[in-house]
Structure 1
Amino acid sequence: MSENNSAPMGAPGSEGLRPMPQVNRITVNDVIDALAAGLSDFRRAPVYGLAIGAFFAAGGLFVVLSAAALNMSYLSYPAAAGFVLIGPFAAVGLYEVSRRLETGEALSWPKLFATMWAQKSRELSWMAFVVLFIQIMWMYQVRLLLALFLGFRSFASFDEFLTEVVSTPEGMMFLAVGHLAGAVLSLILFSLTVVSFPLLLEEDRDFITAMITSVRAVVTSPLPMIGWAFVVTAVLILSMIPAFIGLIVTLPILGHTTWHLYRKCVTVPEA
């Protein structure tokens, strides 16, 4: 890890406030090291990673099948993409596994569930609301773009929808603008959450401080952090193709890696 950037200590006259977490500048090599550590955590505790990954994959499959059952199969793709946005929250259990492996604490399902359940009364629950809000925004903008480019209509099947969007100028515009809007929302969500969830899991901080710290981490090291965001996006998309099955393995690796990336990006001052 290379140079550190000092964090502000709060507004004038606020000496009693806790100092902001310190954000460290990282390099691409730090991301590679974090990925190696994430792979190591997955090998050390595969049962936990595979179980959490399988649960998340089942959730994604349920979303897609629900869209089909409601005769809205044309929303399967955007619904699946939107579901992936909750990945940071789903990975909380993985962060706790990595934290316990790091500190040498015992690993068990009761301890893991107890830690995750305890978050309901902490600031991490507010971060879950932020993720949910962005997911709702994603689905609303999909419906808006459908109305703008393809009109207020439904499609009998996903194949009919796919044929429309890839064979007409309006459909191609829908795809282009939709993916651009999705990329912007994903970048916003990544910036707000990449280190905020691990920070809130470990520290008793408010979620605003956590989001500010997360954005500062991205701004301080834009190339490696945004590069990691592209890697995460590409891996998740590829993992979704075979009925979400790939997420069983890739989600835990990405989650463990994010924990170690947080360790490299953020130094929390002692109270």
Structure 2
Amino acid sequence: MTSKIDGSTPPDKLTPHQRSLPKVNKVTADDITESLKAGFSDFLARPLMSGFFGLFYAVFGILLVWCLVWLDMIWMIIPFIVGFPLVTPFAAAGLYEMSRRLQRGESFGWSDILTVMADQRKREMGWMAFVTLFIFWVWMYQVRLWLAIILQNTSFSDFEGFLNAVLFTPQGWIFLAVGTGVGACLSAVLFAVTVVSMPMLLDRETNFVSAMVTSVRVVTENPVVMLGWAAIISVTMVVSLVPAFLGLIFTLPILGHTTWHLYQRAVAPAEE
């Protein structure tokens, strides 16, 4: 006759979902500097492959702007351009894998990186993509909401008319103030839950909720440094979008590679 033994599951029997969250390290401005240097080094190590991801992202942005013009939705161009960087973390998944292999001294080709990216659909990365795209969707629809509420009596038939309505009327100034405030909150939330969660999901077996919690812990335990990193990303992305998105060919890969190295410094290695 057997008897049940009460108690928790032994530590060595825990599943990846049950293990404790990883330790979060303190990071400094020097960590960001060193991560940027390592990210730039990764870009120079494989510039064509890295640049491909930036080019793909840039072309995607150009096509979407063209579609908005073709659909006569010119009022959505500026909100789209401003919100476009929100989906950057997911777009950089291939860059994280490149940095991971370069760090380990492993050789790799196009098929290796693309296969790893394709395999992410079977893992938790797909849920993180959903979170990212959902926040981007909320961003776009909150713009439509404020347009309807604040600029309801303002007419504009082209892009120039839209700019005049937004920049040179009291209603436009209110729209910009409210939209900027809401957008800043959404951006802060997305940054907090994705700053290290994307590379973490690629690097180790964990669930997307644990990855997001870890990412938020990195931000809350290093608020000043991570705010600085968010500012670097924001300014770099805005400058990159000015020349018809083409600046992303260079800046997106460097920021993606840098994010991987910052994750390595901010989150303790997974326990074997």
Moved more, 148-157 or 125-134: 148-157
CA deviation after TM superposition for structure 1 residue 153, in Å: 6.4
Look up the equivalent residue of 1:178 and give its one-letter code. Answer: G
Cα RMSD (Å): 1.4
Moved more, 150-159 or 243-252: 150-159
Counterpart for residue 40 of structure 1 = 41
Q: Are 2:25 and 2:218, in contact at CA under 8 Å, matched by a contact in 1?
A: yes
What does the per-residue CA deviation read over 1:196-233, in whole Å, with 9 as the maximum and x for residues that have no partner?
A: 00000011110000000000000111111111001101
| Post-superposition offset of 1:270 | 1.2
The amino acid of 2:197's aligned partner reads S
Contact 1:146 1:152 in 2 (8 A): no
Q: CA deviation at 1:105?
A: 1.3
State the partner residue of 2:240.
Answer: 239
| Counterpart position of 1:196 | 197
Equivalent residue, structure 2, for 1:76: 77
Question: Cα deviation per residue 1:55-108 (whole Å; 9 max; x = unaligned)?
Answer: 000111111111110001121011122222110000000001100100111120
Q: Give the whole-Å Cα distance in 1 for the aligned partners of 2:82 and 2:97.
A: 25
Match of 1:54 in 2: 55
Aligned to 1:185: 186
TM-score (norm 2): 0.92
Aligned amino acid, residue 90 of structure 2: F
Equivalences for residues 129-144 of structure 1 within 5 A: 129-144=130-145
CA distance in 1, matches of 2:67, 2:158: 13
Please list, as runs of the form range in 1=range in 2, the aligned pairs for 1:147-226 lying within 5 A after superposition: 147-151=148-152, 155-226=156-227
Cα contact 2:193–2:216 (8 A) shared by 1: yes
Whether the 8 Å contact between 2:43 and 2:257 is mirrored in structure 1 is yes
Structure-to-structure mapping, 1:115-130, within 5 angstroms:
115-130=116-131
What is aligned with 2:4? Answer: none
| Structure whose CA Rg is larger | 2
Report Cα offsets for 1:160-211 as digits up to 9, x if no partner: 1000111101101111111111111111000000000000001111000000
Work out whether residues 124 and 207 of structure 1, in 8 Å CA contact, stay in contact via their aligned partners in 2.
yes
CA distance in 2, matches of 1:256, 1:191: 18
**Conservation of the 8 A alpha-carbon contact between 1:145 and 1:178:** yes
Amino acid paired to 1:109:
W
Aligned counterpart, 2:19: 18
Does the C-alpha gap of structure 1 residues 120 and 158 become closer, same or farther in structure 2, counting only changes over 3 Å?
Answer: same
Counterpart-to-counterpart distance in 1, 2:20 and 2:199: 18
CA separation of 1:104 and 1:154: change in aligned 2, threshold 3 A: farther
- CA gap of 1:117–1:154, structure 2 versus 1, over 3 A, is farther
How much does 1:154 deviate?
6.1
Please say if 1:229 is aligned against 2:237: no
What amino acid sits opposite 1:26 in the alignment?
A: V
The answer (yes or no) to whether the contact 1:19–1:269 under 8 Å persists in 2 is no
Secondary structure at the aligned position of 1:22 is classed as coil
- What amino acid sits opposite 1:173 in the alignment? I
Q: Retained in 1: the 8 A contact 2:199–2:263?
A: yes
> For each residue in 1:88-130, what CA deviation from the matched residue of structure 2 results, as whole angstroms up to 9, or x when unmatched?
0000000011001001111200001100000001001100000
Say if 2:256 is the partner of 1:261. Answer: no
Number of aligned residue pairs: 260
Q: Which moved more, 1:216-225 or 1:17-26?
A: 17-26
| 8 Å CA contact retained: 2:93, 2:117 | yes
Mapped to 2, the partners of 1:80 and 1:107 lie a distance apart of 34
Specify the code of the residue in structure 2 equivalent to 1:124. Answer: M
